[in-house]
């Protein structure tokens, strides 16, 4: 499946899930707690880096709270590795996203959109005999959209589509995961 087909498929799934949120049971009203350690979570998904085949991405994230109502800060760590024509490409990313929630009245599913910055440590493992710098640190910008559902008071699940603009390694990601929220 090509990149445009993957992106279109992911957008259709996200739109369908968002539209179905009107049918979901109402959520309990949530109050913001401000900035601070609100929760920890894990993420897994597929990444389609430019010029390479798709692979699995793994990650961890922190819910750092809201600095204004419905605007969350999410620091994160993500890693993926893929082999291309005899060489391996690896990307370790430390970043932070800012997500804006769009709560649906009477729904449990909360759509969100956002963006962020990431510091990508990209490494190219080249075969012996080929010279050159095989690792680079690059700053990336990403845009994303997704849905989140608080399935229990202390457990939320999410799915998101993200595109990261990173020099030489632009990437489309379709991720899902969970966040364990601390109840104070």
| Residue pLDDT, tens place only, 133-179 | 678 899 999 999 999 999 998 999 999 999 999 988 899 999 999 99
Q: What is the CATH number of the domain that holds 129?
A: 2.40.160.20
Can you tell me the distance from the alpha carbon of 126 to that of 124, in angstroms, rounded to the nearest whole number?
6
Between 143 and 18, the more confident residue is 143
In a domain, 61, yes or no: yes
Number of domains in the chain: 1
What is the pLDDT, as a whole number, of residue 50?
87
What is the pLDDT, as a whole number, of residue 74?
95
Alpha helices in the chain (DSSP H): 3-19
Q: Strands, E, within 85-154: which ranges?
A: 87-101, 109-125, 135-152
In a domain, 46, yes or no: yes
Can you tell me the distance from the alpha carbon of 108 to that of 103, in angstroms, rounded to the nearest whole number?
9
Cα angle for residues 78, 54, 144 (degrees, 5° grid): 50
pLDDT at 13 over 50: no
pTM over 0.85: no
Cα angle for residues 18, 173, 43 (degrees, 5° grid): 80
Can you tell me the distance from the alpha carbon of 40 to that of 125, in angstroms, rounded to the nearest whole number?
32
Q: Which pair of tokens denotes residue 16?
A: 């369908």
What is the pLDDT, as a whole number, of residue 58?
97
Per-residue pLDDT, averaged over 84-111, amounts to 89
What is the pLDDT, as a whole number, of residue 48?
94
In a domain, 32, yes or no: no
Can you tell me the distance from the alpha carbon of 177 to that of 149, in angstroms, rounded to the nearest whole number?
11
Q: Which pair of tokens denotes residue 26?
A: 């109402």
What is the pLDDT, as a whole number, of residue 1?
46
By residue range, what is the domain housing residue 51? 3-27+37-181
In a domain, 11, yes or no: yes
In a domain, 166, yes or no: yes
Q: What is the pLDDT of residues 22-68, one digit of tens each?
A: 334 344 444 556 888 899 999 999 999 988 889 999 999 999 999 89
Task: Using alpha carbons, list the distances in angstroms from residue 139 to 6, 78, 101, 151.
Answer: 24, 14, 25, 34
């Amino acid at each position: 499946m090509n990149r445009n087909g993957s992106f279109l498929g992911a957008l259709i799934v996200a739109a369908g899930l968002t539209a179905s949120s009107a049918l979901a049971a109402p959520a309990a009203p949530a109050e913001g707690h401000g900035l601070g350690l609100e929760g920890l979570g894990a993420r897994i998904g597929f990444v389609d880096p430019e010029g390479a085949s798709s692979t699995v991405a793994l990650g961890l994230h922190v819910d750092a709270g809201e600095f204004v109502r419905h605007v969350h800060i999410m620091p994160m760590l993500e890693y993926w590795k893929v082999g291309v024509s005899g060489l391996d490409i690896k990307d370790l990313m430390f970043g932070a996203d800012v997500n804006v929630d769009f709560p649906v009245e009477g729904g449990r599913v909360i759509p969100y959109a956002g963006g962020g910055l990431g510091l990508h440590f990209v490494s190219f493992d080249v075969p012996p005999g080929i010279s050159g710098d095989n690792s680079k640190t690059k700053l990336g910008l990403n845009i994303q959209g997704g849905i989140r559902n608080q399935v229990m008071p202390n457990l939320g699940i999410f799915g998101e589509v993200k595109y990261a603009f990173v020099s030489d390694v632009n990437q489309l990601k379709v991720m899902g995961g969970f966040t364990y929220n601390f109840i104070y």
